[in-house]
C-alpha cells in the first residue's frame, strides 16, 4: 500500500482564474447582445410589414367606399374621385383610372403621362376585372419605390366593372425611417455592449474573493469532516486528504485505490461498499468516487473519494434484518390475522392471513377501514365502540365483530389490539390481531341450543307421560258416549268433538315422546334412496294438487346407513311439508319455479363418510329474525291449524340421535336449503339378522 504524502492546500492561481472568469463573462454578454440585436431586427421588420398590410387594407376600404359613392357617372366624376384620393393621402404619388379597353379615364398626373409597360398593366386590369379582386405590388418609378394597388373600378347605373383604379403610394420615406431606426438601435446596442463588457471585467475581479473563500471552505472540510475524504491524481498521488483519513488509515487501502482507478478509467461516479480491517476490528465503508478535474480531452485528471464509516449502521441493519425475519416468520405462520391501522382507521399493513379469512390479497385492503369490510348494521355498532377507544387511546380486548368475506359470507372475528403512539405521545394508530371465531361461535350456539333442547326434551317427556294415560281415558269415555248416544244427536256431536280433540292431543303426545326419545324403534341398515322414495309416495298426491313438481338427484350405489327408517322418513316428510308451505306462500298458483329438489350424495374421506341429503325450494325463504328459533319446540310461523311447532325440533332431535347434523341456508324471497347429514356408520350395534341386508 502507498503511504500518504504530506501536501495541503496552500496557494491557488487566483489571477488566472480572475482573467478566465472575465473572458467568460464578456463572451457570454457579447453573445446575449448579438441575440438581442437579431431578435430586435426580426421583430421590427415584422411589425413594419404588419403595419404596412394594415395600411393597405385601410386604403382599400377607403377607395372602395369612395368608388361606391361616386363611380356611377362619367369622366368628370372619375377625375373628382382621383383628386379626392390624392388629396386624402400625401404619400400617394399617382392615381389612375383605366378602362378595360386601355383608355385612361382619369389621371392625377398633371402631364397625363401613361404608365410604362402598358401591356402588362392591361393584363392586370383584366385580371382584376374578371376576378373582382385587388393586386398589391412594389414598383420602381423614376427611382422611387412605390406600393401599387390595383382594384376594380365600377361605373354606370348597373354598377358594373368597367376597368381598374391604380394607386401608387410612395414608401421611400418609410424605408428611410426604418433604416435610420435600425442604425440607431445597432449603435445603442454596441454602446451597451461596451459598457457591459467593462462592467463585467471589473465585476469579475471581485469574484476571486468567493474562489478564495471556497478554497478555505475546502480546507475546513478536509480538517474537520468525520468522513474519509481524499483527492488523488491519475498517477496515484494523493493531493489532498481529510484529517480523519490521516488518523484512521495509516496506509492507502486497496479498496480506495481500486475505486479511484475505476473513476479514471470510466470517467463517471462510482459507489461501492467495502470493509477495512484494523487490528481485530472490521470497519465498513460506503465509498463514493467521482471526477473533480478533467483536461481538454475530457480525461479525468483528479478524482475525489468520500468514504463514510457505516460500521454501526451495518450492525443495526443486521439486527433489524434478524428482527424482521423473526417477525415475518411469526406473522406468516401464525393462524391469526395481524394488521395495523392509522389514526383514521385505514389499514397500512396486513398479514397474508387475510387471504384465508376474507379472500382479499393484503394489497387490496390497504387504504380501507375495518368498517368497509362489515355489513351495515355491524358497521354502525363497531364505529361507536372504536370512536370511544380512539378518544381514550385504550387497547382493544376480545371485541367480537362481523366482517364480510369477498364472496359475501359472514366471518366472525375476535379483535385485540394496542394503541401506537409517536415520540410526542400522539396516538397514530393501532396494531392488533383478528382471530376467526366463526366456527367457535357456531359451536357454542349449537351447544347452547342442544342443551336447551335436551332440557326441553326432558320436560316434554315427563309431561307427555303424565298426559298420555288421562287422554286415553278421555278418548275411551268419548267412544262409550258415542256408542250409547242417539245418532246425530247433540250429545253424539259433542262426544265426537271430544274424541277428535283427544286424538289431536294424543298426536302431540307422540311427537313429544319422539322429541324426548322416550319411544323405542328398532334400528337397521337402510338405503337413503328407499327412504326418500317411500316418502315421495306419501306426498306425491298432495304435491300434485298444489301444482308442485318434484325432482330427485340421488347418486347411484350409495352405501346403506345404520338408522331408524321410520324416523328418517318423518324428517324428510317434515322438510318436504315445510318446502310445500313456502312455495304455496310465494306462488299461490302454478309457476315454473314451483319445484322441490331432493339430492343425495356421498361426502367425506373413506374412514369418515356421510350422506348429505338436501331438500331445496325456491319459496319465500326464512326471515333473518326467526332463524335462531326455528328448531325450538312449539315455535312456528304457521297458523295454529297448520302446525304445532314440533316438526323441525323433532327432526333436529332425530338427526342428532343418528349422530348427524341438520343445517339450513336461506335467502329471504329466493330459496331455502335444508342439509341432512347422516354418517354411514354411526357406531350402532345391529342384530345379526340385519347383516343379510348388506349381501
- Whole-number Å distance between alpha carbons of 335 and 349: 17
Please report which confidence band the pLDDT of residue 111 belongs to, taking 50, 70 and 90 as the band edges. Answer: low
How many C-beta atoms lie closer than 10 Å to residue 237's C-beta? 12
Architecture of domain 521-695: 2-Layer Sandwich (3.30)
- Whole-number Å distance between alpha carbons of 122 and 164: 9
284: helix, coil or strand?
A: strand
- Whole-number Å distance between alpha carbons of 336 and 565: 44
Q: Are strands 561-563 and 396-404 parallel, antiparallel or unpaired?
A: unpaired
- Residue-wise DSSP of 535-593: HHHHHHHHHHHTT-EEEEEE-TTPPPEEE-HHHHHHHHHHHHHHHHHHHHHH-SS--TT
Partner residues linked to 436 by β-bridges: 413
Q: Which residue has the higher pLDDT, 2 or 92?
A: 92
Partner residues linked to 150 by β-bridges: 135, 166
In this prediction, residues 117-130 reach a mean pLDDT of 83
Q: What are phi and psi of 128, to 5 degrees?
A: -65, -40
Query: How many residues would you count in the chain?
Result: 695
Partner residues linked to 610 by β-bridges: 603, 679
Please report which confidence band the pLDDT of residue 178 belongs to, taking 50, 70 and 90 as the band edges. Answer: low
In this prediction, residues 249-269 reach a mean pLDDT of 74
The pLDDT score that the predictor gives to residue 499 is 83
C-alpha torsion sign, points 586, 587, 592, 594 = positive
Cβ-based burial of 274 (10 A; exposed 0-12, middle 13-18, buried ≥19):
middle
The pLDDT score that the predictor gives to residue 263 is 81
Q: Which residue has the higher pLDDT, 113 or 105?
A: 105
Q: What are phi and psi of 605, to 5 degrees?
A: -70, 170
State pLDDT tens for residues 59-91: 665 555 555 544 445 677 777 777 777 777 777
Q: Which residue has the higher pLDDT, 50 or 648?
A: 648
The pLDDT score that the predictor gives to residue 211 is 67
Architecture of domain 437-519: Orthogonal Bundle (1.10)
pLDDT at 518 over 80: no
Please report which confidence band the pLDDT of residue 24 belongs to, taking 50, 70 and 90 as the band edges. Answer: low
How many C-beta atoms lie closer than 10 Å to residue 293's C-beta? 13
pLDDT at 22 over 90: no
CATH superfamily of 1-224: PAS domain (3.30.450.20)
Looking at 107-111, 173-177, 391-395, 452-456, which range is the least confident one? 452-456
Q: Which residue has the higher pLDDT, 47 or 403?
A: 403
Mean pLDDT of the chain: 77
CB distance 429 to 420 below 8 Å:
yes
The pLDDT score that the predictor gives to residue 595 is 93
The C-alpha cell of 37 is what? 440585436
State pLDDT tens for residues 599-615: 999 998 877 899 999 99
Closest-CA residue to 162 (of 58, 62, 57, 73): 73
The C-alpha cell of 545 is what? 294438487
The C-alpha cell of 181 is what? 431606426
The pLDDT score that the predictor gives to residue 695 is 36
Q: Which residue has the higher pLDDT, 536 or 211?
A: 536
Partner residues linked to 288 by β-bridges: 271, 306
The pLDDT score that the predictor gives to residue 10 is 43
Please report which confidence band the pLDDT of residue 479 belongs to, taking 50, 70 and 90 as the band edges. Answer: confident
State pLDDT tens for residues 563-592: 888 788 888 888 998 899 889 989 988 888
Please report which confidence band the pLDDT of residue 388 belongs to, taking 50, 70 and 90 as the band edges. Answer: confident
The pLDDT score that the predictor gives to residue 209 is 66
CB distance 429 to 602 below 8 Å:
no
Q: Which residue has the higher pLDDT, 143 or 567?
A: 567
Looking at 26-30, 255-259, 392-396, 602-606, which range is the least confident one? 26-30
Cα-to-chain-centroid distance, residue 42:
53
pLDDT at 644 over 70: no
Q: Looking at domain 334-427, does it have CATH number 3.30.450.20?
A: yes
State pLDDT tens for residues 650-675: 788 888 888 899 999 998 889 999 99
- Whole-number Å distance between alpha carbons of 532 and 656: 19
The C-alpha cell of 405 is what? 368475506
Per-domain boundaries in the chain: 1-224, 227-316, 334-427, 437-519, 521-695
Q: Which residue has the higher pLDDT, 124 or 683?
A: 124
Share of the chain above pLDDT 70, in %: 73
- Whole-number Å distance between alpha carbons of 691 and 37: 118
The pLDDT score that the predictor gives to residue 187 is 77
CATH superfamily of 227-316: PAS domain (3.30.450.20)
State pLDDT tens for residues 323-371: 878 777 777 778 889 999 998 889 999 988 999 999 999 999 999 999 9
Please report which confidence band the pLDDT of residue 177 belongs to, taking 50, 70 and 90 as the band edges. Answer: low
Q: Which residue, chain included where needed, has cell 334412496? A: 529
CB distance 666 to 672 below 8 Å:
yes
Cα-to-chain-centroid distance, residue 453:
51
Same fold yes or no, 1-224 and 521-695: no
DSSP classification of residue 680: S
End-to-end alpha carbon distance in the chain: 96
State pLDDT tens for residues 483-514: 888 888 888 888 888 888 888 777 666 666 65
The pLDDT score that the predictor gives to residue 4 is 46
Q: Which residue has the higher pLDDT, 11 or 193?
A: 193
Cβ-based burial of 380 (10 A; exposed 0-12, middle 13-18, buried ≥19):
exposed
The pLDDT score that the predictor gives to residue 602 is 92
The pLDDT score that the predictor gives to residue 692 is 44
The pLDDT score that the predictor gives to residue 501 is 81
- Whole-number Å distance between alpha carbons of 513 and 459: 10
- Please state the pTM of the whole predicted model: 0.37
Amino acid at each position: 500500500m502507498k503511504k500518504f504524502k504530506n501536501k495541503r492546500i496552500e496557494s491557488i492561481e487566483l489571477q488566472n482564474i480572475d482573467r478566465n472568469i472575465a473572458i467568460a463573462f464578456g463572451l457570454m454578454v457579447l453573445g446575449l447582445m448579438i441575440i438581442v440585436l437579431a431578435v430586435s431586427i426580426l421583430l421590427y421588420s415584422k411589425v413594419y410589414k404588419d403595419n404596412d398590410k394594415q395600411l393597405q387594407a385601410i386604403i382599400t376600404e377607403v377607395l372602395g367606399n369612395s368608388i361606391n359613392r361616386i363611380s356611377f357617372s362619367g369622366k368628370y366624376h372619375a377625375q373628382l374621385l382621383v383628386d379626392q384620393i390624392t388629396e386624402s393621402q400625401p404619400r400617394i404619388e399617382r392615381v389612375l383610372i383605366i378602362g378595360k379597353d386601355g383608355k385612361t379615364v382619369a389621371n392625377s398626373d398633371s402631364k397625363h403621362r401613361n404608365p410604362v409597360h402598358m401591356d402588362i398593366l392591361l393584363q392586370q386590369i383584366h385580371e382584376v376585372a374578371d376576378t373582382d379582386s385587388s393586386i398589391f405590388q412594389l414598383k420602381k418609378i423614376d427611382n422611387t419605390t412605390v406600393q401599387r394597388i390595383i382594384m376594380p373600378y365600377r361605373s354606370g347605373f348597373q354598377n358594373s366593372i368597367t376597368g381598374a383604379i391604380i394607386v401608387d403610394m410612395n414608401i421611400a420615406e418609410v424605408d428611410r425611417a426604418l433604416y435610420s431606426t435600425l442604425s440607431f438601435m445597432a449603435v445603442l446596442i454596441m454602446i451597451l455592449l461596451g459598457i457591459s463588457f467593462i462592467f463585467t471585467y471589473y465585476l469579475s475581479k471581485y469574484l476571486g474573493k468567493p474562489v478564495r473563500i471556497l478554497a478555505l471552505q475546502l480546507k475546513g472540510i478536509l480538517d474537520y469532516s468525520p468522513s474519509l475524504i481524499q483527492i488523488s491524481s491519475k498517477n496515484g498521488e494523493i493531493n489532498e486528504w481529510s484529517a480523519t483519513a490521516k488518523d484512521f488509515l495509516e496506509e492507502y487501502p486497496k479498496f480506495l485505490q481500486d475505486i479511484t482507478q475505476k473513476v479514471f478509467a470510466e470517467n463517471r461516479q462510482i459507489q461501492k461498499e467495502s470493509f477495512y480491517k484494523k487490528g481485530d476490528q472490521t470497519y465498513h465503508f460506503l465509498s463514493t468516487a467521482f471526477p473533480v478535474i478533467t483536461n481538454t480531452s475530457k480525461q479525468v485528471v483528479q478524482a475525489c473519494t468520500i468514504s463514510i464509516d457505516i460500521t454501526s449502521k451495518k450492525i443495526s441493519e443486521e439486527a433489524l434484518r434478524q428482527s424482521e425475519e423473526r417477525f415475518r416468520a411469526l406473522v406468516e405462520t401464525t393462524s391469526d390475522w395481524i394488521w395495523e391501522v392509522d389514526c383514521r382507521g385505514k389499514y397500512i399493513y396486513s398479514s397474508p392471513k387475510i387471504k384465508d379469512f376474507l379472500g382479499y390479497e393484503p394489497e387490496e385492503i390497504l387504504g380501507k377501514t375495518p368498517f368497509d369490510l362489515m355489513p351495515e348494521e355491524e358497521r354502525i355498532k363497531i364505529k361507536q365502540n372504536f370512536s370511544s377507544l380512539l378518544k381514550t387511546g385504550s387497547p382493544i380486548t376480545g371485541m367480537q365483530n362481523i366482517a364480510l368475506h369477498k364472496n359475501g359470507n359472514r366471518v366472525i372475528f375476535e379483535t385485540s389490539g394496542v394503541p401506537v403512539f409517536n415520540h410526542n405521545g400522539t396516538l397514530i394508530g393501532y396494531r392488533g390481531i383478528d382471530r376467526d371465531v366463526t366456527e367457535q361461535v357456531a359451536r357454542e350456539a349449537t351447544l347452547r341450543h342442544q342443551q336447551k333442547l335436551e332440557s326441553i326434551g326432558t320436560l316434554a317427556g315427563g309431561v307427555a307421560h303424565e298426559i298420555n294415560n288421562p287422554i286415553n281415558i278421555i278418548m275411551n269415555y268419548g267412544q262409550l258416549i258415542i256408542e250409547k248416544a242417539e245418532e246425530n244427536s247433540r250429545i253424539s256431536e259433542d262426544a265426537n268433538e271430544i274424541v277428535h280433540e283427544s286424538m289431536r292431543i294424543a298426536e302431540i303426545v307422540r311427537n313429544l315422546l319422539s322429541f324426548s326419545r322416550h319411544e323405542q324403534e328398532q334400528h337397521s341398515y337402510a338405503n337413503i334412496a328407499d327412504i326418500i322414495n317411500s316418502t315421495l309416495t306419501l306426498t306425491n298426491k298432495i304435491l300434485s294438487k298444489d301444482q308442485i313438481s318434484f325432482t330427485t338427484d340421488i347418486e347411484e350405489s350409495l352405501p346403506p346407513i345404520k338408522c331408524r327408517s321410520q324416523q328418517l322418513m318423518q324428517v324428510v316428510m317434515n322438510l318436504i311439508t315445510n318446502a310445500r308451505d313456502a312455495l304455496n306462500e310465494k306462488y299461490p298458483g302454478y309457476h315454473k319455479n314451483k319445484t322441490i329438489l331432493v339430492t343425495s350424495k356421498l361426502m367425506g374421506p373413506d374412514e369418515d363418510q356421510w350422506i348429505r341429503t338436501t331438500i331445496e325450494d325456491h319459496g319465500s325463504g326464512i326471515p333473518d329474525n326467526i332463524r335462531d328459533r326455528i328448531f325450538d319446540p312449539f315455535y312456528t310461523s304457521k297458523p295454529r291449524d297448520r302446525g304445532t311447532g314440533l316438526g323441525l325440533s323433532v327432526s333436529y332431535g332425530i338427526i342428532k340421535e343418528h349422530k348427524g347434523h341438520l343445517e339450513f341456508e336461506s335467502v329471504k324471497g329466493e330459496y331455502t336449503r335444508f342439509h341432512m347429514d347422516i354418517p354411514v356408520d354411526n357406531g350402532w350395534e345391529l342384530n345379526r339378522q340385519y347383516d343379510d341386508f348388506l349381501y
